Structure formats: structure tokens, C-alpha cells
Amino acid sequence: MEEVDIHSKINHKNAVKLLGYCIGESTLTMVSEYIPRGNLEDILHKVGYSITLDTILGIAIGCAEALSYMHSMHLSSDNLVCHGDIKPANILLDANLTAKVSDFGLSRLLSGGITQYTAYVKGSLDYVDPIHIQSGLLTPKSDVYSFGIVILELITRRRVKEGKFSLIEAFRKAYTKWSMLRELVDADIAKEGNMNALVEIGNLAMDCLTLNIDKRPKINDVAVRLQTLWNDLRRGRDSRHSAMLEKFSNVRMFTMEHLRQVTKGWSSRFHIYRNTVYKGTLDDNTAVVVYLTHFAKSDKEVVINTWMLQSQIVHKNIIKLLGCCLEADTPFFVYECPAKCSLSDILNGEEDFPLDLRVKIAVETADALEYLHSSAVGITAHDLVEPRNLLIDDNFMPKITSFSWVWRLAKQTGLPVNGIQIDNDEVLSKAQRDVYEFGILLLELFGRKKRYGETNLDIILQFTKAYEIDNSRMVMFHKNITVEGDITVLEEIGRLALKCAVSKAEERPKIPEVAQHLRMLIRRRWKVSMTQGATWIPAFHPKASFTFIQLP
């Protein structure tokens, strides 16, 4: 009953609420509020998704404030509460990652705020104050020691003991040297802008872990220091991001809290790729992809400017940047999510993929590249045109994605573009590479399936050889689309693809010429079909409709 007695006295936003209890003949059942995200130990060591330094400090502050409340209860009553078993497994997290201290089974009421001695030491020994183990002395400073270990686990995501590894000893050696500290701290938060704060957090943890109990800080002082660090971190980030906010004036700004809701608390069910890409749904049911960027300090301006450029690109066949969040250590970007799959998935699948749909994808992709290479967007090179970066929606509309790097022609030669020095000749060279990659894409889109181990160069050479030998080139096209009436169109597309993929960049056609040639071929085919009395409708005609087959 002592646990019920203690728990019933605690009423704090960062402590789990006791709702009731039931006493049986030999059992005690306690009913507490439900905390959906589970415990901190699982979040740190099992779940594996990224946690920002902001969130880490928020968790630490919440826990420290709960302990501060417990340690000061004697000011309004005759007793204070010493938790006695502070560790990540006893810190629960709600849907917003707010910390809730739980499990008061080993808690003790210390009369009048004095210390207590016991001959029976209980708790998780890896987290228990060595002074308590050696002498039986139990004071509020015992919780401070345990909380110091929690701080270390928060910023390193390492367990306090793993085999022969001791986190406390490793940190004592590392935190005095910047490079060693950076290696020990969790890579997701070991960013240049965080290192000063991490050093201060490390200093605070070491103060909590000192074996001189009189020199340990009180938990309310720990909470104040953590809050100060959090405020300083936010102020520094706000000033750094003020310029970025101006760059993204034409897109929606999201808060971290909103993105948590969009991704259902960064749920693994919405996780797409590693710990950086999540699916989500906005309030208006718009499907989105949330992308967490990772980059070196030297690339930061390049990445920010890349997405700034993309925010200015508006085309129905180019993935749309909807917004971003600049609150975290690294930016989050939010995109529309139109895709059921990529073109690569379709080409590697076994489902029927008729010529009309292939033509539609080719023409609309060429239109998108023509737009990128036009003066409307300042001649922007994509530099990564390939099937896996072409998303296909329910209506088989292609959308170019993967704008990790976008290169724009400067208005004056020698101006920095994307935050780095790059001359216009190099941008034009990358635009010519887009033409080459589009030629390869055409060969993959209309050609036979790639054999295992085949390279792009192999395919180019085989197509070139086939065109030099009469009546052999048709074997290079996909067998399901080589019907008699379409041979002429396929041969023309093959020739166009080979022109795009020639080795000498200056001999390649410009993307507008390629797009115009494709449109001309389709118009010609349409006219032939009409003169023959056919009712053929091109795939991109507004009357056309298709049923999408979900690929595995």
C-alpha cells in the first residue's frame, strides 16, 4: 500500500496519474492513465527513429521538473518523495513525446526532507547511486545521480552498460575532448550548431554523477540549467533560420508538432526509407511525404538553396514541394505524394504495360524537362533523370522527383549558385547530361527488359548495332508493343533515344527539340490511325481513362 499512498499524493503533468486501485486477498491492482508511446528505453534503444536535440531537452526537462516537484513536496506537507528507481524504462512518453515519470514501487517518503538509511538496497543496480549501495544512504541526491545517467543515454543513445562497455566511464574520458565527444554522441544530434549545447549537457550530467554527494546539484537546479540550455538553443536556431524563412516565403511552414501529427507520431507504419522519409496525411486528407535532410555542415547552404529553387518550380509533371519545417536541427521538407509506384517498379513488373501508356510517360516527362531547361525557371538541370526517380500516379501521370541537387544557370557568369561557385558552362553540361539520361530512359521505357548485369552502355551499343543491321532492330523493343502498325513509331523513338545518348554532348539535341520530336511522332501516328478508320485515342488525350494495377 505504500506505493498507492505515495502515488496518490503526486499530481504533476510530468508524472503518470493514478486513477484508482483494487485490493484483493493477496493482490493489489493499480489503474493509471494510459501513455501511448511506451517507455524511453524502447524509444532510445529499440525503435530507432530520429529524435532531435529539442525533443531530447524537452524530455529531460519534463522528467527533471517531475522530480523537482516530488523533492519539494515537504514544503506543503511533512514528507518529500524520493523516487528511488529513475531509469529510461520508468519514463513514459505520450503521443507528443512529453515525459511522464512512472513506477513508484521503490519510492520512499522521507519525513521532513531528511535522509534515510536502509540495509536493503533495491532498484536497477546500473542506475543506483553508488553511495546508496555502499552505505544505504538514501536522499534526493540519489535520484539526481540516476537522472545523470538518463541524460547520458538521451544524448548518446547508448545503454549505461553493454558487456564491458561503461557509458559513464566512456563519457568521463570523452567529454573533455571535442572530437571524442562527437563520436560518442548520437549522430542524429551531433551537428555543429548543437555541439556547444551538448558540451554543457555533458557537464551537467557529470555534475549529477559526481561521487561527492554534497557537490551534486539539486534537481530543481538541474531543471533550470536544462531549461536555460533549451532556450539558448532555440534562440540561436531562430536567428539562423530567419534568413531561410524569407527564402521559403512561397511555401507552407510546418511545426514539428504538426509533422508528428501528420506522421502519427513518426509511426513505423508510415516509415518509407531508413529514418528519413515518412508518409503522412494533412488535415485536408492530402497525402504527403515528409523528408528529413541529412548533410554535412559544408553542404548546408547548398541544400537549403536547392530546396528554395525547387519551391519555385511549378509543373504538373514535377513533384511539388508543399512546405518545410525549420524548427529542428536539420530541415524537414513536405512533398505531395501522388505515387503508387515508380517507373522502375512498373518496368520490372510483369503487368501489361501498353504502348499508349509508355508514350504518355515519355511525352510528359520530356515536357517537364523542357520546362526545367527553359528560361521560365532559369535553365535548371535535374542531373538524375532515371526510372526510379519518376513517380507514377493513379492516372499514369509521371512526376519527376529526387531533387537532392538542382543546378540553375546564373544570370551572370561566375555567380554562386546553390551556395557554391559553379560556372554556367557546368550547368549547361549538366543539362546536356539530362538529355543523355532521358535517352537511356527512352531505351528502357520502350526496349526489352534489362538482363542481369547489363549496363546503360551495353544497351546503347546493342541498339546501335541493331539499327545498323536490317530487320534486326525490332528485337530490341519490348515484345508486347511490337505490333505491325507501331513499328515505324518505335523505330523513330529508338533513333531519337540514340541521338540523345551519343557520347559527345555537343552532338546531342536540346530537350525542347526532343519533346517536339516526340509530340510530332504521336500526331503522325494519330493521323495515320484516323485515315485508316481507327478509333485510337492517344494515352494523353483528355478522354482516355485507365485502371491502375497495384504492383507488389
What amino acid positions are annotated as catalytic residues?
A: 85
Largest CA distance in the chain: 101
358: CB partners within 8 A, 6+ apart = 445, 446, 481
CA dist., res. 174 & res. 178, Å (int): 8
DSSP secondary structure, 376-400, as one string: GGTSEE----SGGGEEE-TT--EEE
Element (H, E) at 427: helix 424-446
Q: Where are the alpha helices (DSSP H) in 396-423?
A: none
Q: Would you call 142 helix, strand, or coil by DSSP? A: helix
User: What does DSSP assign to residue 248?
Assistant: T
Which among 345, 521, 343 has a CA at the least distance from the CA of 441?
A: 343
- Give the number of other CB atoms < 10 A from CB of residue 264: 15
Give per-residue burial for 101-134: e unless 16+ CB within 10 Å, then b.
bbbbbbbbbbeebeeeeeeebebbeebbbebbee
**CB 542 within 8 Å of CB 397:** no
Which among 412, 423, 506, 502 has a CA at the least distance from the CA of 457?
A: 502
Q: Are strands 287-292 and 137-138 parallel, antiparallel or unpaired?
A: unpaired
CA dist., res. 372 & res. 206, Å (int): 54
CA dist., res. 459 & res. 453, Å (int): 11
DSSP secondary structure, 203-223, as one string: HHHHHHT-S-GGGSPPHHHHH
CA dist., res. 117 & res. 239, Å (int): 51
